[in-house]
């Protein structure tokens, strides 16, 4: 009997997690990972906050909530098994005004429904015990929220799967997937068709997921519209002013979370991110633009519908983009002692935000299977936290049931 062959498109943490799960479920199969860069985890996997999200915000019963909670357990266990640093530094979501209290309580109810361990609402006195320099009238405390390096985890998974026999094809950008009878063929950007066909393919193409899906015959939406998020590292002299993670209460008028304090696994303290339209899907430096990417979203009706109803959000975020001092002051509302702290640019991430034709943002993970091909069309935060659980979900619930 011929050995079954599986391909995974994308060597980020989600693609690598799928490849690992395939091998764990059936060690006798052949797994090939196609990655367009010269090493793994070069995009969203290494350009993020590093937070292991506990599952506070997500709609109970949805994929985000379910896979995030499962993902936390799997990530923690994986880090323990492979000696990858994992720090349960804890997180507070802080209300500054009375009008934020109902929203804070709603987050608490969601966290309880999602089974987030040890989460509780606290008053200003206990907040001072946890974060001595933080101000607020009430907060939600999640002591089990953690931080890691997802890039380091991805690199470890890559080593692990190669030791188990998987092949990682670097410098191999994929243009489209061609399904013919009982095989899927892979056409590279060069026009070359990979000589071997595959029984099943899972596409985890991140920022390019919609393009690969459309080239392969899937529908246009949701479409990826890139938003960058800039982080800054605060002056090391002041990093002890914050112990863990300090977040604002999300404002439903705005599509993104807002600036917050995030401890990094290397011990540094960051402020960020803002959220603004990016001049390229992979513009991590911020000093160049990609005309194709810009034309892509400017020509998309869904983008203009989104923009029209998010003018206040755009103006708010623009202020933090053009002025570093305003950026810092936004965060310092929660830690006043850092109002004048000096900062230096750190990681700049690009959020692969899936947007529907009506301008709404895809709220949950979008994972779609057609025939022998599975596309991850939307896996923003908590996508990295959920990565090992996403691998389980795809392999056990989609591929195995096919």
CA distances from 137 to 99, 109, 119, 130, 378 (A): 11, 19, 17, 14, 35
CATH number at residue 386: 3.50.50.60
Detail the DSSP E strand segments found in 62-114: 91-95
Give yes or no: residues 249 and 333 share one domain: yes
Give the pairing type, strands 343-355 and 366-370. Answer: unpaired
- Is 204 within a domain? yes
Best CA proximity match to 262, nearest among 276, 278, 275, 248? 248
- Backbone phi, then psi, for 250, in 5-degree steps? -60, 140
Q: Cα 27 from chain centroid? A: 29
pLDDT of residue 187: 98
Give yes or no: residues 299 and 347 share one domain: yes
- Is 336 within a domain? yes
Those residues whose C-beta lies under 8 Å from the C-beta of residue 384, and which sit 6 or more positions away, are 13, 14, 44, 45, 48, 150
Give yes or no: residues 229 and 352 share one domain: yes
Give yes or no: residues 238 and 343 share one domain: yes
Domain count, the chain: 3
Side-chain-side CA neighbours of residue 19 (13 Å): 35
Give yes or no: residues 172 and 199 share one domain: yes
Instruction: Give the residue ranges of the chain where pLDDT is below 70.
Output: 1, 401-402
CATH number at residue 284: 3.30.9
Those residues whose C-beta lies under 8 Å from the C-beta of residue 255, and which sit 6 or more positions away, are 275, 306, 310, 313, 361
Instruction: Render pLDDT for 51-86 as a digit per residue (tens, 0 to 9).
Output: 999 999 999 999 999 999 999 999 999 999 999 999
pLDDT of residue 402: 56
Give yes or no: residues 206 and 293 share one domain: no
Domain range for 133 is 91-143
What does the alpha-carbon distance between residue 395 and residue 4 come to, in Å, rounded to a whole number?
14
pLDDT of residue 14: 98
pLDDT of residue 156: 98
- Is 372 within a domain? yes
Give yes or no: residues 178 and 137 share one domain: no
> Residue 169: beta bridge partners?
34
pLDDT of residue 1: 65
- Backbone phi, then psi, for 124, in 5-degree steps? -60, -30
Q: How many CB atoms lie within 10 A of CB 322?
A: 10
Task: Answer whether 233's CB lies under 8 Å from 121's CB.
Answer: no
What does the alpha-carbon distance between residue 233 and residue 225 come to, in Å, rounded to a whole number?
27
């Amino acid at each position: 009997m011929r050995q079954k062959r599986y391909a995974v498109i994308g060597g980020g943490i989600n693609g690598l997690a799928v490849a690992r799960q395939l091998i764990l479920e059936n060690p006798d199969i052949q797994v090939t990972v196609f990655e367009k860069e010269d090493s793994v985890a070069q995009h969203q996997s290494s350009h993020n906050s590093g937070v292991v999200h506990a599952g506070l915000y997500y709609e109970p019963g949805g994929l985000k909530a379910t896979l995030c909670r499962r993902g936390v357990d799997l990530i923690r266990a994986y880090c323990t098994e492979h000696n990858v640093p994992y720090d349960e530094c804890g997180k507070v979501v802080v209300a500054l005004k009375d009008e934020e209290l109902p929203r804070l309580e709603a987050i608490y109810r969601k966290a309880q429904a999602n089974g987030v361990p040890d989460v509780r609402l606290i008053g200003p006195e206990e907040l001072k015990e946890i974060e001595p320099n933080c101000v607020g009238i009430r907060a939600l405390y999640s002591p089990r929220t953690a931080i890691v390096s997802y890039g380091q985890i991805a690199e470890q998974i890559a080593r692990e799967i190669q030791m188990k026999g998987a092949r990682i094809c670097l410098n191999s950008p994929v243009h489209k997937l061609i399904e013919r009878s009982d095989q899927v063929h892979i056409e590279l950007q060069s026009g070359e068709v990979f000589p071997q066909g595959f029984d099943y393919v899972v596409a985890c193409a991140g920022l390019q997921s919609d393009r690969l899906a459309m080239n392969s015959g899937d529908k246009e939406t949701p479409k990826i519209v890139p938003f960058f998020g800039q982080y800054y590292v605060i002056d090391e002299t002041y990093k002890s002013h914050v112990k863990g993670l300090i977040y604002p209460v999300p404002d439903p008028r705005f599509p993104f979370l807002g600036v917050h304090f995030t401890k990094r696994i290397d011990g540094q303290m960051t402020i960020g991110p803002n959220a603004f339209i990016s001049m390229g899907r992979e513009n991590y430096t911020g000093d160049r633009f990609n005309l194709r990417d810009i034309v892509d979203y400017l020509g998309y009706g869904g983008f203009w519908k989104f923009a029209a109803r998010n003018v206040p959000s755009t103006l708010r975020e623009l202020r933090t983009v053009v002025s570093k001092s305003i950026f810092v002051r936004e965060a310092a509302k929660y830690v006043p002692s850092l109002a004048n702290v000096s900062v230096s640019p750190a990681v700049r991430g690009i959020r692969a935000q899936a947007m529907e034709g009506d301008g709404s943002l895809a709220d949950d993970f979008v994972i779609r299977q057609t025939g022998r091909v599975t596309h991850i069309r939307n896996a923003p935060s908590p996508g990295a936290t959920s990565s090992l659980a996403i691998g389980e979900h795809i392999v056990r619930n989609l591929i195995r049931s096919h």
